[in-house]
Amino acid sequence: MSPRRGPLSAGERVQLTDRRGRRLTVMLEPGGLTQTDHGLLPHEAIIGLPEGSVVVTISADKWRQMRHQQDVDTDTQAPDRAKPWKSSRGIGGWAFTIMRPRLEDYILSMPRGAQIMYPKDVARVILLGDIRPGMRVLESGAGSGAMSLGLLDAIGTEGKLTSIERREEFARVAMGNATVFFGHRPAQWDLRTGDFDTLAADLPEDEFDRIVLDMLDPWNRLEQAYRVMSPGGVLTAYVTTTTQLSRLAEALRADGRWTEPGIMESLERSWKADGLAVRPEHEMIGHTGFLLTSRAMAPGQQALRKHVRATKDYQTDVDQGRPPAKSSGSNREREKEDLEDLEDLELRRVSDRKLRKVLRDLDHQVRTLQGGQDQKD
């Protein structure tokens, strides 16, 4: 999308920011009016200004005078159905800075149907997934369009984004948000509504360079994902819970056609810098989701896996996978064997030599402590 320059015009979304840092995003309309907590902002006073201008709210009385003067000048008596001054009577004089919103600002303020992916995660998906201009990208789960906006911006007009959204109303929200942000319906976006497996089955093989999955059960989509992915393509999945993360990672490993998954999450914390008061803000955006990436192997090739040490068995479930007692002897012997089986499942084995050293050190410290107490007595 080419950047918008020049004076602000009707049909654009603008961001109002006051001295306290509070933000309000509105779309400019001819004859429009925005009501704030500190008065009214006529859109006619904003349209035509350059970015970075400061505008000041007016009171309801001032607005009525302006409307009355317009009616006199045009010899009309247009009724004012909105009557915004009912809650803004006598307020005015509050300053706002006017800017065109950044992509991050737009994502956080745009209308939502489904929960959005946060800008910090959108940015990481684009970087981790190596999504660049001209690429062909498949997205599952458009939601409200936050990730779609980032992908469309990353691939540019030469790329192609194919999104599959299960719910038609969510698809309409996503397309509406993209149309408002870009100023037109993106020609490089093919937004389809329906089941992922059904619609993906009609897509050509090796069609996509990158795939982004944001859905409840991405592990059930790996077969179709591999079929339509070019060899070496990057799969990026966004999941919110550890159970989803574990199941997807194990499914990728069991499939054998995907490289060892990389897993990360992004935490965001803002800072305050005001003179000597330099410290983190009290609030932060903590866990929002996990990002998992993996790459498609060439057909007929198996992904390499690291060897797991025998003493590091973390695949067997302690309760369900423990082998039965080997001996039919006494209860004491069976308990000893069960204990040995459990020790084999420990992730951090301690050698007998190290354990003896730890015990000697602790015994020495205990004796020293007791000797000091005896002397006091």
How, if at all, do strands 160-165 and 189-193 pair? parallel
Non-local CB neighbours of 16 within 8 Å, separated by 6+ positions: 23, 24, 25, 26, 34, 36, 41, 55, 96, 97, 98
Is 190 labelled a binding residue? Answer: yes
DSSP code for 45: G
Non-local CB neighbours of 260 within 8 Å, separated by 6+ positions: 253, 294, 303, 304, 305, 306
Is 165 labelled a binding residue? Answer: yes
Going from the C-alpha of 375 to that of each of 139, 153, 362, 367, the distances in angstroms are 74, 76, 20, 12
Of the candidates 142, 151, 144, the one whose C-alpha atom is nearest the C-alpha of residue 110 is 144
Q: With beta carbons less than 8 A apart as the criterion, state whether 45 and 7 touch.
A: no
Is 71 labelled a binding residue? Answer: no
Cα–Cα distance for residue pair 208/11, rounded to 1 Å: 35
Sign of CA dihedral 59, 65, 68, 69: negative
Tokens standing for residue 238: 């966004």
Cα–Cα distance for residue pair 114/19, rounded to 1 Å: 32
Using alpha carbons only, give the angle 93, 94, 99 rounded to the nearest 5 degrees.
Answer: 130
Cα–Cα distance for residue pair 373/377, rounded to 1 Å: 6
DSSP state letters, 318-358: TTTSPPPPS--S-HHHHHHHHHHHHHHT-SS---HHHHHHH
Of the candidates 159, 127, 91, the one whose C-alpha atom is nearest the C-alpha of residue 291 is 127
Phi-psi region of 68 (alpha: psi -120 to 50; beta: other; left: phi over 0): alpha
Cα–Cα distance for residue pair 309/323, rounded to 1 Å: 19
Q: With beta carbons less than 8 A apart as the criterion, state whether 17 and 96 touch.
A: yes
Q: How far is CA 354 from the centre of its chain?
A: 45
Q: Which residue positions form the known binding site for S-adenosyl-L-methionine? A: 165, 190, 214
Q: Which residue positions form the known binding site? A: 165, 190, 214
